Amino acid sequence: MLLGLAWHLMLARSMTGKSKSYDYIIVGAGSAGCVLAARLTEDLRTRVLLLEAGGEGGAKEIRIPAAFSKLFKTGVDWNYATEPEPHLHERRLYWPRGKVLGGSSAINAMIYIRGNRADYDFWRELGNAGWGFAEVLPYFKKSENQERGASEYHGVGGPVNVADPRYVNPLTRAFLAATEEIGIARNADFNGPEQDGAALYQVTQKNGARWSAADGYLQPARERSNLTVLPGAHATRVLLEGKRAVGVAFLRGGVAEEARADGELILAGGTVNSSQLLMLSGIGPAQELKSTGISPMHDLPGVGKNLQDHPMVSVGYLCTQKISLDGAETLGNFLRWLVWKNGPLASNVAEAGLFLRTRVGLAVPDLQLLFGPAYYRGHGLVRRKEHCFGFGPTLITPESRGEISLRSANPLDAPAIRANYLSTDADLRTMIAGVRLARRLAHAKSFDQFRGEELHPGAAMTSDAEIAEFLRNELETLYHPVGTCKMGVDALAVVDARLRVHGIAGLRVVDASIMPRVPAGNTNAPVIMIAEKAAEMIRAGA
Ligand SMILES: Cc1cc2nc3c(=O)[nH]c(=O)nc-3n(C[C@H](O)[C@H](O)[C@H](O)COP(=O)(O)OP(=O)(O)OC[C@H]3O[C@@H](n4cnc5c(N)ncnc54)[C@H](O)[C@@H]3O)c2cc1C
């Protein structure tokens, strides 16, 4: 309690000058924040301030698709870790999140997937009017520049460039042939009428380089005089007058500043940070806040709860031929990428995948399996000398729920993340089925000319119990945390269907945290859709 008070007094004392005012202030220039900044400033009379804790993002590894894992644990990464995970032998899992203009879309694996149409219909069934698939499809299309052209499901001319891959490794071709061998149908478009099946992924790239939300939305909008972008500005607290948000306090270059929002303050800091910022501001579970020294301003028990993520495990093999991406880091390949924007460095590593139902009777796929023609263990940070390939079975309909809570009242301390992976038998069962499926694919004829030793789990691990043990030792995040400020009407809902924080005027949350349930697929395109829809609601005064 005393520490919390001391922190706020210190900030108040170092505050400089008079605060400026804007119509809208957006916290976080990630996937959602870039969309909001661009769309809200289309009306040149609307003054917008965009705060971003990270920097501009000039690193070449942001541009080069195959280099994304080189961004991990660098200055563009929040570099979070979970608390010891109770069902994973108390391991702390590394959680990368983008801290740079573009946010996580500047460090992600670029896979363009929307999830299953049933995901959005379910959101609507929970009481969120306007969020059914038919109602959100126009926003997916509005955001998109689909290089294959416009169709019932796709748009052209939007800021998100969606491309077919420029480079496909021979091992990925073998993977696709293997899926056919074991009877998995080819899917011409994961974002079309059906989700099941196998295919090359489409990617958020343009001319063979990453195309983040900052590239598509923010950079063109920065020319507008009504948009102020402040990189290196870390929001520390929502300024409240009674039950109305009137602005934000932030730190820039070690100096405490404030800005006023005449219209609204919009939190777009992502699943970890938006819930943290609400709690730092006294908006959250009152009893919990008190115990960390924060005076509760508004009791909202759901803040930080309902955390969901897609867990993944890497099933890896040695490759008997030197053709994988493991040998791709050469000067020749770099020059090839630099000049022609193709070759192995244009690969997003997870080049292909499939969606599948592991049990009969399921209405939708519960498993996504990614394939990478490379060694990918420990987030690509563990390297081997040999050439390898690997499968990433991923649970896309998790039952496990975790939570985010404050560790302290200091806004610069990371919050406590408890993902609670594999806390239900059903989640474990699906992951075990995923490991078995990876092995079936690896033993298909198409891999005969490439398959070497199984590195992990290792051929000796065959029983369900042994595979479960492998999962407890090796499971990682597929980087899709959502849900900590969920949209809804129940007691744990944080925002309403217009993404306005329940009980606080002038405050919205617009990012991955508002998802009531994680979609069955990668989350970047859904976040961008959410921000497109939110921007339209805000502009319409809704
Ligand atoms: C390594 C990795 C790989 C991924 N791969 C894929 C993929 O291939 N396909 C896919 O669809 N999805 C992928 N994802 C997930 C996807 O990128 C995210 O779901 C999406 O980007 C989240 O968007 P967001 O706007 O909610 O948050 P973010 O994009 O994370 O943006 C939040 C922004 O807010 C800033 N911020 C936070 N707190 C503050 C504060 N207090 N003050 C100021 N600024 C703040 C952050 O620095 C950040 O820039 C991946 C994610 C990661 C990390």
Residue 19's pLDDT is what? 81
Q: Copy the structure tokens of residue 284.
A: 């959250």
Indicate yes or no: pTM above 0.95: yes
Distance CA 94, CA 202 (A): 26
Residue 17's pLDDT is what? 47
Where the chain has pLDDT below 70, the residues are 1-18
How far is C-alpha 286 from the chain's CA centre? 28
Pairing mode, strands 283-284 and 298-299: parallel
480 Cβ inside 6 Å of ligand 1: yes
Atom from ligand 1 closest to the CA of residue 98: 30
Atom from ligand 1 closest to the CA of residue 69: 1
510 Cβ inside 6 Å of ligand 1: no
pLDDT digits (tens, 9 = 90+) for 401-421: 999 999 999 999 999 999 999
- Helix-helix angle 117-125:133-143, to 10 degrees: 130
Is 343 in contact with 337 (CB distance < 8 Å)? Answer: yes
Best substitution site from 35, 52, 78, 104 to test ligand 1's pocket, by max atoms within 8 Å of Cβ?
104
191 Cβ inside 6 Å of ligand 1: no
110 Cβ inside 6 Å of ligand 1: yes
114 Cβ inside 6 Å of ligand 1: no
Residue 373, Cβ density class (10 Å: 0-12 exposed, 13-18 middle, ≥19 buried) = buried
CB atoms under 10 Å from CB of 8, counted, come to 18
Residue 234's pLDDT is what? 98
How far is C-alpha 187 from the chain's CA centre? 24
518 Cβ inside 6 Å of ligand 1: no
Residue 18's pLDDT is what? 61
User: How remote is the CA of residue 321 from the centroid of ligand 1, in Å?
Assistant: 36
User: How remote is the CA of residue 511 from the centroid of ligand 1, in Å?
Assistant: 9
Distance CA 436, CA 313 (A): 12
Residue 499, Cβ density class (10 Å: 0-12 exposed, 13-18 middle, ≥19 buried) = buried
Residue 542's pLDDT is what? 74
Atom from ligand 1 closest to the CA of residue 110: 8
Residue type, 23: D
Give backbone dihedrals phi and psi of 157, rounded to 5 degrees, phi first.
90, -5
99 Cβ inside 6 Å of ligand 1: yes
- Helix-helix angle 425-442:464-474, to 10 degrees: 100
Atom from ligand 1 closest to the CA of residue 524: 11
309 Cβ inside 6 Å of ligand 1: no
User: How remote is the CA of residue 214 from the centroid of ligand 1, in Å?
Assistant: 12
User: Closest Cα partner for 52 from 101, 118, 5?
Assistant: 101
Residue 130's pLDDT is what? 98
204 Cβ inside 6 Å of ligand 1: no
User: How remote is the CA of residue 481 from the centroid of ligand 1, in Å?
Assistant: 9
User: How remote is the CA of residue 21 from the centroid of ligand 1, in Å?
Assistant: 27
97 Cβ inside 6 Å of ligand 1: yes
Is 315 in contact with 439 (CB distance < 8 Å)? Answer: yes
- Tell me the H-state helices in 89-132: 117-125
Atom from ligand 1 closest to the CA of residue 527: 23
Atom from ligand 1 closest to the CA of residue 525: 11
Which residue's C-alpha comes closest to atom 50 of ligand 1? 108
Q: What is the DSSP string of 50-72?
A: EEESSB----HHHHSGGGGGGGT
CB atoms under 10 Å from CB of 439, counted, come to 18
SS3 447: helix
Residue 480 among the catalytic residues = yes
CA 485, 488, 494, 500 dihedral sign is: positive
Active site residue: 87, 89, 480, 502, which one?
480
234 Cβ inside 6 Å of ligand 1: yes
Distance CA 28, CA 278 (A): 14
Which residue's C-alpha comes closest to atom 11 of ligand 1? 524
Best substitution site from 108, 113, 518 to test ligand 1's pocket, by max atoms within 8 Å of Cβ?
108
User: How remote is the CA of residue 322 from the centroid of ligand 1, in Å?
Assistant: 34
Atom from ligand 1 closest to the CA of residue 113: 11
Is 479 in contact with 244 (CB distance < 8 Å)? Answer: no
523 Cβ inside 6 Å of ligand 1: yes
